[in-house]
Amino acid sequence: MSDFESFGVAEIDQVVKGYDPVIMRRLLGFLKPHARTVALAVAGLLLATLAELLLPVVLQKTIDRYIIVEYCRLSASALGEPGVRPLKITPADPTIGGYVYLLASRLSLLTGVEKASLERDGTIDDTPRYVFRLDPARADLDRVLRAHPGLFALGDRYGAIRSEDLKELSKGEIDTIRADDFRGVALGAAKYLALLVGVLLFSFLQVYFMSLTGQGVMKSLRLRLLDHTLHQSLGYLTSNPVGSLVSRVTNDVETINDLFTTVATSFLQDGAMMIGAVVTLFLLNPKLALIALCTLPPVLLATVFFRFKARDAYRRLRMWVSQVNAYISEHIAGVGVVQMFARERRSVAEFVERNTKLLRATLAEMYVFAAFRPLTDLFTSVSIGVVLYFGTGMFIRNAVSLGVLIAFLNLINKFYQPVMDLSEKFTVLQSAMAGGERVFDLLDTDSRIPDAGTRSLPEPLRGAIAFEGVGFAYKSDEPVLKGVTFAIEPGETVAIVGYTGAGKTTIINLLTRLWDVTSGAIRLDGIDIRELKLRDLRRVIQPVQQDVFIFSGTVEENIALGSGIPLERVKEAVRVVHAERIVERLPGGYRAELHEGGANLSTGERQLLSFARVVAHDPQIVVLDEATGSVDTETEKLIQGALRALLAGRTSLVIAHRISTIQHADRILVLSNGVLVEQGSHSELLARGGVYQSLYRLQYETSLASGRS
């Protein structure tokens, strides 16, 4: 069996998913609130790309206009001839005597036959010459011209000298003749520096605004996911592992952030750079650009091939990362069992096997990129070599200038850099697609309790509760409650007892609508609770659950639960349930920080704080679900008086295994296999000799046995 088969097809698909246009379209929908920021980021990206593409162009212009400047001479009398027309002579071209001087690179506009014909009849003299601008105000230039009268051809605005004669002049004379070139080089350097600053500035703006967008999307997604999850039914939340839900809100959202801040930016920037580089090549010299493009097909084929190889390697890597993490998490959580059963050596051996496969998967991914990177460098070198070979020949024939040749080499490098970047970002795109799928799978799941209630709670609320033929099943073929019917009068304290699994806690969950009844109805003051808003219903019914959850935070925060209850009321609630000693022993008192889950409290202390919560919130209806099950007998006696004061005048529903805690209830309901089999007072039920008496006798005999032991 292969690794993928043992891991499970569905799980593999969740590890890495290819590009999905539907998921991408939904992800892009989250950008709408950030449209302005995205526009600024895209503008910065395009401007940075444009500035970077202009760098080799500025370099080319500076070299060709001010550094390597060679002109050829054309007879002015032949300007109207057909063979000269491709040169497109303009009035701006320098004219000296009966000749027009053109940059030698412009001869590339002629065919080989046209150029040879014009050279034979003397129309073109391609002897390299240097042309400079005359300025009557420059005495230094005038002195050089007077010192060498036979070397220069002078016109009204321009002068010319053969390039080989120019080299024979002294350094100072050359500096004088080429003064305009020195200024041009300084200007070109200033433009180049300005473009570098522009690349830096626009790249910063692009990264900043895209990161701002990504963080905004993450914030919106986290809020939406958490809000959506908190409103789901208990059935959905209990059927999905907490780790999976947390991973979707954190890790999967982070991969989506990578999509916007890294992948999308890279795809746009690299795509713009590659297209811009090709366009610039054709603008500089179409012939040489076509030659350069002929080297690209092997690169594109290799990129497609390695993309699929990288995807397979990444899939396998993520699979084994997940396997190793799951194994570590499970065995650290269950380290007590591992040690008790002396499984340390076996666990290490199993981990070594998984860790070795992770190592192999990591190396396999490294091999893919270790082969792809040098291959891309090879293709880059081949393209540069091809351009150099053909470009040098064109340069010798004056078909291309040195500046254009240098710019081509620069632009080819700029074209190949994104090829590698796009290939590496593809794996991030796959991970983001998988994360997006899991996020939307959670958002598309709607198993929340319907909250379409339109009726308001009566004022004042009496607190009458009625179960009318209530049936419920967690699974359709396994009913938990079967037609349960009973009524609780306002201010009455009713207890529910029964063997484990009889449905006691289910009644509490149905009353607070953590679940909805399968059949029948539950009424509060005659109103079906499904017609009430969930917020209103849960505001008037406060449970004290068997498993108390303490949040990380202060004692005050754990009692008030963000409801704005003043500190004095919190202190009064703590006093009522006799929990002052708990708060007093904690450093900081009510400001003391409690650990997550109340790890720095005993089970009984956590239970007492849960009592204080209910007292502080002062509900009309109180539900105690095994509320004293974890409190020792001494503590239980302390809070009995507080409970009687709390429950006085309020409707209360008490669930307890220990019958001693509910003997004074107004009425006791006995459940068995989801059916209400008995109800009455403690003495009435004992006298009846039914299920309640059996429960009582069982607990009494167990207590005696414990006392004897």
pLDDT (tens digit per residue) in 225-243: 888 888 887 777 777 767 6
Strands 621-625 vs 541-544: parallel, antiparallel or unpaired: parallel
In angstroms, the CA 709 to CA 707 distance is 5
CA distance 335 to 327: 12
| DSSP state string for 250-285 | THHHHHHHHIIIIIHHHHHHHHHHHHHHHHHHHHH-
Closest C-alpha among 648, 551, 566, 567 to residue 606? 551
Residue closest to 42 by CA, chosen among 205, 286, 247, 271 = 205
Give me the pLDDT at residue 395, please: 82
Specify whether the CB–CB gap between 473 and 553 falls below 8 A.
Answer: no
Span 316-333, mean pLDDT?
A: 78
DSSP state of 529: G
Within a 10 A sphere around the Cβ of 529, how many other Cβ atoms?
22
Whether the CB-CB separation of 514 and 447 falls below 8 Å is answered with no
The highest-confidence range among 51-55, 410-414, 573-577, 641-645, by mean pLDDT, is 51-55
| pLDDT given for residue 13 in this prediction | 44
Using CA atoms, how far apart are residues 495 and 652, in angstroms rounded to an integer? 8
Reported as a pLDDT band with limits 50, 70 and 90, residue 116 is confident
pLDDT above 60 for 708: no
* 460 prior amide bond cis, ω within 30: yes
Contact 208, 37 (CB under 8 A): no
pLDDT of residue 346: 87
Given a cut of 50, whether residue 704 has pLDDT beyond it is: no
- The domain ranges of the chain are 3-59+198-444, 67-185, 465-708
The pLDDT value recorded for residue 629 is 55
DSSP 8-state symbol, 89: -
Q: What is the mean pLDDT of residues 625-649?
A: 62
Whether 684 and 643 have beta carbons less than 8 Å apart is answered as no
Looking at the DSSP bridge assignments, the partners of residue 72 are 102
pLDDT for residue 456 is more than 80: yes
Write down the pLDDT at residue 159: 93
Q: What percent of the chain has pLDDT over 90?
A: 23
Give the CA distances from residue 676 to residues 59, 467, 481, 487, 653, in Å, rounded to whole numbers and listed in that order: 92, 11, 9, 12, 15
pTM of the model: 0.70
DSSP state of 67: I
Q: Higher pLDDT residue, 342 or 410?
A: 410
Give the pLDDT confidence score for residue 220 in this predicted structure. Answer: 87
Name the 3-class secondary structure at 588: coil
pLDDT digits (tens, 9 = 90+) for 5-33: 444 444 444 545 556 788 888 888 888 88
10 Å Cβ neighbour count for 297? Answer: 9
pLDDT of amino acid 270: 85
Contact (CB, 8 A) for 280 and 56: yes
Q: Is the per-residue pLDDT at 430 higher than 80?
A: no
pLDDT the model gives residue 304: 77
Section 59-69 average pLDDT: 89
Has residue 197 got a pLDDT over 70?
Answer: yes
DSSP string of 26-60, one letter each residue: HHHHTTGGGHHHHHHHHHHHHHHHHHHHHHHHHHH
Calpha distance 370→420 (Å, rounded): 12
* Per-residue pLDDT at 636: 62
pLDDT tens column, 246-297: 777 877 788 788 878 877 788 888 888 889 999 999 998 888 899 988 888 8
- What pLDDT does residue 631 have? 57
Nearest alpha carbon to residue 167 among 140, 138, 129: 129
Q: Given a cut of 80, is residue 317 above it in pLDDT? A: no
Q: What is the pLDDT of residue 638?
A: 59
Decide: 329 and 322 in contact? Cβ < 8 Å. Answer: no
Cα separation values, 99 from 151, 154, 504, Å = 16, 11, 110
pLDDT for the residue numbered 448: 79
Architecture of domain 3-59+198-444: Up-down Bundle (1.20)
Looking at per-residue pLDDT, the higher value among 32 and 641 belongs to 32
pLDDT at 177 over 90: yes
Distance CA 472, CA 499 (A): 18
Is 625:508 a contact under the CB 8 Å cutoff? yes
Q: Tokens standing for 677?
A: 């089999």
Bridge-based pairing of strands 465-475 and 519-524 is: antiparallel
In the structure encoding, which two tokens stand for residue 233, read together?
């039914």
For 526, the token pair is: 């005659």
Q: Indicate the average pLDDT of the chain.
A: 83
Which of 343 and 187 is assigned the larger pLDDT? 187
Neighbours of 372 (CB within 10 A): 21
Span 579-595, mean pLDDT?
85
Q: Copy the structure tokens of residue 470.
A: 């209530």
3-state secondary structure of 376: helix
Q: pLDDT digits over 481-535, tens only? A: 999 999 999 988 899 998 888 888 889 889 988 888 999 999 999 999 999 988 8
| CA-based nearest residue to 577, from 629, 628, 542 | 628
DSSP calls for 191-245: HHHHHHHHHHHHHHHHHHHHHHHHHHHHHHHHHHHHHHHHTB-HHHHHHS-HHHH
Predicted confidence (pLDDT) at residue 450 exceeds the cutoff of 50: yes
pLDDT, residue 1, reads 44
Q: Per-residue pLDDT for 593 more than 80?
A: yes
For residue 73, pLDDT over 80 is answered with yes
Structure tokens at 190: 């200033």
CA atoms within 13 A on the CB side of 225: 23
Distance of CA 104 to the CA centre of its chain: 55
Q: How many C-beta neighbours within 10 Å does residue 39 have?
A: 11
What are residue 470's DSSP bridge partners?
484
The whole-number average pLDDT for the span 375-402 is 84
Tell me the β-bridge partners of 469: none
Identify the pLDDT of residue 334.
Answer: 80
* CATH 3.40.50.300 assigned to 465-708: yes
| Distance (Å, whole) CA 281 – CA 407 | 8
